Chains A and B, each alone.
Chain A
């Protein structure tokens, strides 16, 4: 039985096919940052406890730090670098700027990816619902008020507010 400690993985990142031969220990987070140069996704705790590394895998939000790259065979991954279209920011990115929903900005990519998942899930009927859905994203600067306001605004624009 194969006992190699590297593994080949083929997946799609922000719409582009990628094939990599990686040490099996490589997390999806390190794959994105170290191997693909996509440093928008941040490493906060590396333990699933902060949400800075949130990306979408097959359109569901996950912690990239606890995801092994080898387990993403065939998956479609979307990171903060993949959400703008034709050079235009995603509506939630624009709303974050309008609402000043950040201070240091370290948690922001994760917040935005989680916010996109929140709006998609329709969990935007109240500020409380947004806070609960996004509780896996800590903000040490305490920008929560403005983050929630930005998410609610985009949900409303998208008609997603129930």
Chain B
């Protein structure tokens, strides 16, 4: 690890000042410390932001507000989140381990880096880590790589589970800087690699995520997250699906669908939603809509199986909600 200076910020102004002085924010450190040890990240100064008052989870009249420093474990176990936004709680509980969920913050989670082994290995080429050096994953070990949103320069997946649930539920991030605050829909926060895979999001240097906001709606209570993994726990997604439905009398009034493990950014699927809305709640509706999820997918040598697995993952998630939609007798 490269030597670095360390300081604790106790007010937003401290944090901004330190960031302006080549500082890098650290919250849980579970991404940053790991990648610093690998030599992938080399900040000169770390700014510990944990003393900032951004830890609260609040239920507002028309949205849920999650402080950027709220821990994954804390959000997953929050009674309002569990009741009104089950997909968020489930996506978190299916992430990482109990220890990591105690450490990791929600803001840091959104900014975690890809688990692509070529990205993590500084002796290997990687356009994300070293622009222009090449992408060995394209013709290498790419079973876990993306089939959607890829470019010839990068095929790495975005690894966050909860970001998939948040993108499905129309979440926004609130971002602060010395100039004030701005709010961006999470879906627009992430950037597909294109020919600049090293640029992953729209956060400007020194900007701080202060909160995540998730709007209320009739669909959020009927939401779920399904994750398919190579082992049952403590593993990243091979494929995953976040879905939410508003249903009345057996008909789908509204739908939200996003997928993980398959795309370079958390992948919202509005065309799948459109194919669900107005249709009867039925297996054939689910299957027809889920088929559309892989339209335009570009498989690599070892991950073509995801073209079959992704629609099945979506159908599984939709079926889970269908069971919930049957009124208890």
Establish whether residues A48 and B100, one from each chain, have CB atoms under 8 Å apart when the complex forms: yes
**A70 neighbours in B (Cβ, 8 Å):** 6, 48
In whole Å, how far is B4's beta carbon from the nearest beta carbon of chain A? 6
**B177 interface residue per 8 A CB criterion:** no
> For residue B61, which residues in chain A have a CB less than 8 angstroms away from its CB?
none
Task: Annotate B63-102 by CB proximity to A: 1 below 8 A, 0 otherwise.
Answer: 0000000000100000000000000000000001111101
Residues 1-54 of A at the B interface (beta carbon under 8 Å): 1-5, 7, 23-25, 27, 46-48, 51, 54
Query: In chain B, residues 31-55, which have Cβ atoms closer than 8 Å to a Cβ of chain A?
Result: 33-34, 37, 44-46, 48, 50
From A23, A46, A67, A121, contact of B37 by CB (8 A): A46
Query: Given the known A-B contacts A66-B29, A132-B233, A135-B234, are A54 and B7 also in contact in the complex, defined by CB atoms under 8 Å?
Result: no
* B26 interface hit (Cβ, 8 Å): yes
Residues of B within 8 A of A3 (CB): 5, 44-45
Answer whether residue B3 sits at the interface, using C-beta atoms and an 8 A cutoff. Answer: yes
Closest to B234 in A: A135
Whether B233 and A25, one on each chain, are in contact in the complex, defined by CB atoms closer than 8 angstroms, is no
Closest to B93 in A: A132
CB distance from A131 to the nearest CB of B (A): 7
Contact B99 A131 (CB under 8 A): no
For B206-243 the 0/1 string (1 means CB < 8 A from A) is: 00000000000000000000000000111000000000
B186 within 8 Å of A (CB atoms): no
A51 to B7, CA, bound (A): 28
Instruction: Name which of A55-63, A88-96, A97-105, A147-155 contacts chain B.
Output: A55-63
Q: Is B113 interfacial (CB-CB < 8 Å)?
A: no
- Please indicate the chain B residues that have their CB under 8 angstroms from the CB of A135 in the complex: 97-98, 232-234
On chain B, the residues within 8 Å of A118 by CB distance are 98
Contact partner of B98 (CB less than 8 A), chosen from A25, A27, A68, A133, is A133
Contact A71 B98 (CB under 8 A): no
CB of A11 to closest CB in B, whole Å: 13
A54–B234 Cα gap in the complex (Å)? 15
Question: Closest approach, in angstroms, between the C-beta of B259 and any C-beta of chain A?
Answer: 24
Give the number of residues in A that approach B within 8 Å (Cβ atoms).
36
CB proximity of B112 to chain A, nearest CB, Å: 12
Interface size class on chain B is 20 to 34
- B3 near A25: Cβ-Cβ < 8 Å: yes
**Is the pair A66, B33 in contact by a Cβ cutoff of 8 Å?**
yes
Contacts of B100 in A (CB 8 A): 48, 63, 66, 136
Min CB distance A72 to B, Å, is: 10
Please determine whether A5 and B29 come into contact, CB atoms closer than 8 angstroms: no
Expressed in whole angstroms, the minimum distance between the Cβ of B231 and any Cβ of chain A is 9
- Residue ID in chain B nearest A135 by CB atoms: B233
Bound Cα distance A71, B27 (Å): 9
Q: Complex Cα distance A118/B303, Å?
A: 36
B1 on the interface (CB 8 Å rule)?
yes
B5, B97, B100 — most chain A CB neighbours (10 Å): B97
Does any Cβ of A come within 8 Å of B103's Cβ? Answer: yes
Could you tell me if A24 and B98 are in contact, using CB atoms closer than 8 angstroms?
Answer: no
A152 to B37, CA, bound (A): 37
A47 engages B34 (CB within 8 Å): yes
**Minimum CB distance partner of B30 in chain A:** A66
With A24-B4, A114-B99, A135-B98 known, 8 other A-B pairs at CB within 8 A are: A5-B3, A5-B6, A24-B6, A62-B99, A62-B102, A67-B103, A68-B26, A70-B6
Top 9 A-B pairs ranked by shortest CB distance?
A136-B97, A135-B233, A24-B6, A5-B3, A135-B234, A60-B102, A3-B5, A7-B6, A25-B1
Q: Which residues of A contact B (CB under 8 A)?
A: 1-5, 7, 23-25, 27, 46-48, 51, 54, 60-63, 66-68, 70-71, 73, 114, 117-118, 121, 131-137
